[in-house]
Chain A
């Protein structure tokens, strides 16, 4: 996909570019004014926007885009990591918020999730991947036509995986979307819950969830 990267630090920009270049096309601009102008072309699928730019605040760029009716999904990148900063970023209209320093895998996973979100204006209530199906209303999961009884949090985890089939979902993304927490607990609670979810889904069949070492999990599309 085509990504607009707004970042004033050249070294950071180069590193992000080289990290993303394998799977995406990157256009890099270094200031807010340029960012506002570039996005008008409408050729980008996702924007990565640094919060602190030399000319204007990243939030102001976001504001300008939204008032110009540029509906590009925005991942805000920032060195400001307090709760208040994150809240102001999300309230300012960012679709996601990633605090520097971050792992490249985290950035990749979040960009993929963002793009998916932007494609659907009206999120579906029914998902089907391979022989797995998930209904949000009522909350029900089936594998190969057979009901699988999941705990509420196991259901939420699977929902995140099924929204992003074949894509990595990181532990941080699970923590934020399933438990609403934005810090990393020292105990690996995601792994323990996933292992229970796995056991219930497998139940005699193949394992539909793939572990990405040091990153997170991915739902096999061919499951």
Chain B
């Protein structure tokens, strides 16, 4: 019982049943009292009518007429009343069913006339002008039976309600328990280590199915994040071996070499360079994790992407010029997107870094913004050697570098971060041929400044589904 009481489902069902029973009881009593009051009133009214009628006979023709009327009435088929008449001294003039003499007004008595069944009488005594007492009585057993029947019906109804309620409680409780148990079973299985378990979702689309579906979506996302984390850990471990090896060798060489200060300094500088390279790698990894997993969107604000691009152009112009390339900027007006200003700058500068790093001198780099409908586009294009089509999907993945010998600097995370930032902004990154060169287009949903929400129809901005955060080694499609 305690076990049942602990179950919220049973408590709920039981409470509901108890409430229903109380409501039925209250309604039953109200009906009973209203009905019986009405029946008694009618009963009394009929008796007083009869008395009035007899008094009228008495008034018109005195005692003989009254006696006549009494005889007539008593013989009338189906007459429900019995009569008695006592003279001034209390002597019996007429008397049916051992009715007693009584004071004027209403009385009730249980009468047991000899040779007849006992009955329950309710009668009205009227003193006539000459001192006689007229009594008209009705049999209330009919009323008593009616009352008993009402009571019975009420009791039966109450018992039925209780019975149905108890059955409902058990069924409802069992149903709730069963539905909830599938969720807790899944949770237990997941806690036991099987992250692939999902709550079974029925076809009806009720609250449980919806809750199950949300839970499953949450579990999918968690599984994705866990997988991401696992991937990052293994990627980092893998990619750190090379610089760690170099760092170790540099220190080892420095220690085992001559006591001369110059080679020692060289070794230390090499070691410092290697640790900086590792730190940069860490920084990049952490940044990507931050973008992919944390609640960045809480801080998003409307950002004018066109102004931001102009700012980045101003920032990068001299460096690109110094690198022997040209930078053209084509971005006018104001285009608002919802985002993090610094991340959007980093996204743009990462693409510019790439354009500078992987192209020969003389390359033209173009940065532009466009907007059409619900969509803002940021395009960074260069006239360099480009990327072969078969590699284009791959280069946004983590640690992918097309330079197999790894002679150029970088750790293969730049474009992955761009993809992660784009995804965090509900955008889409497309890398395609610029004929010649490479062109990266980032589409972002435009935001309505007043409402601070992404404007309706923004889904048309993205041709595919919302881009999932990029994964380490999974194919991007």
**A→B interface (CB under 8 Å):** 81-84, 87, 101, 151-153, 179-189, 191-193, 195-196
Contact = CB atoms under 8 A, between A and B. Distances in A.
Contacts of B409: 186
Contacts of A153: 314-315
Contacts of B299: 83-84, 87
A187 B346 contact: no
A195 B322 contact: yes
Nearest to A153: B314
B353 A81 contact: no
Interface of B: 279-280, 283, 286-287, 290, 294, 296, 299, 311, 314-316, 318-323, 340-343, 345-346, 349-350, 352-353, 356-357, 409-410, 414
Contacts of B414: 186
B342 A83 contact: yes
Contact of B342 (A101, A151, A152, A182): A182
A83 B352 contact: no
Nearest to A154: B318
Given A193-B318, A195-B322, A83 B353 contact: no
A189 B342 contact: no
A186 B294 contact: no
A187 B286 contact: no
Contact residues of B: prevailing secondary structure:
helix
B294 A82 contact: yes
A84 B294 contact: yes
Given A180-B341, A187-B319, A189-B318, 10 more contacts: A81-B283, A151-B314, A152-B314, A153-B314, A181-B345, A183-B342, A184-B283, A186-B410, A187-B356, A191-B319
Contacts of B321: 192
A47 to B, nearest CB: 25
A115 B347 CA distance: 34
B234 to A, nearest CB: 22
Nearest to A214: B272
B239 to A, nearest CB: 17
Contacts of A82: 286, 290, 294
14 contacts: A81-B283, A82-B294, A101-B279, A152-B314, A179-B315, A180-B342, A182-B342, A183-B346, A184-B283, A186-B414, A187-B316, A187-B349, A192-B319, A196-B318
A201 to B, nearest CB: 15
B353 A185 contact: yes
Contacts of B318: 189, 192-193, 195-196
A121 B284 CA distance: 37
Contacts of B311: 179
A80 to B, nearest CB: 10
Contacts of B287: 183
Contact of B357 (A87, A181, A182, A186): A186
A210 to B, nearest CB: 20
A181 B342 contact: yes
Contacts of A83: 290, 296, 299, 340, 342-343
A195 B290 CA distance: 34
B64 to A, nearest CB: 113
Contacts of A195: 318, 322
B425 to A, nearest CB: 14
B409 to A, nearest CB: 7
Contacts of B346: 181, 183, 185
Contacts of A101: 279
A76 B311 CA distance: 29
B286 A188 contact: no
Contacts of B345: 179, 181
A180 B287 CA distance: 17
Nearest to A82: B290
Contacts of B343: 83
B325 to A, nearest CB: 11
B294 A187 contact: no
B249 to A, nearest CB: 21
B319 A189 contact: yes
A211 to B, nearest CB: 15
Contacts of B296: 83
A188 B319 contact: yes
Contacts of B286: 81-82
Nearest to B298: A84
B354 to A, nearest CB: 9
Nearest to A84: B294
A78 to B, nearest CB: 13
8 tightest A-B CB contacts, nearest first: A192-B318, A192-B319, A186-B353, A185-B349, A189-B319, A82-B290, A192-B322, A187-B319
B359 to A, nearest CB: 13
A189 B290 contact: no
Nearest to B340: A83
Contacts of B410: 186
A92 B334 CA distance: 33
From A181, A183, A191, residue with most partner B Cβ within 10 Å:
A183
Contacts of A152: 314
A32 B387 CA distance: 54
A87 B290 CA distance: 14
B441 to A, nearest CB: 21
Nearest to B296: A83
A207 B410 CA distance: 34
B365 to A, nearest CB: 11
A155 to B, nearest CB: 12
Contacts of A151: 314
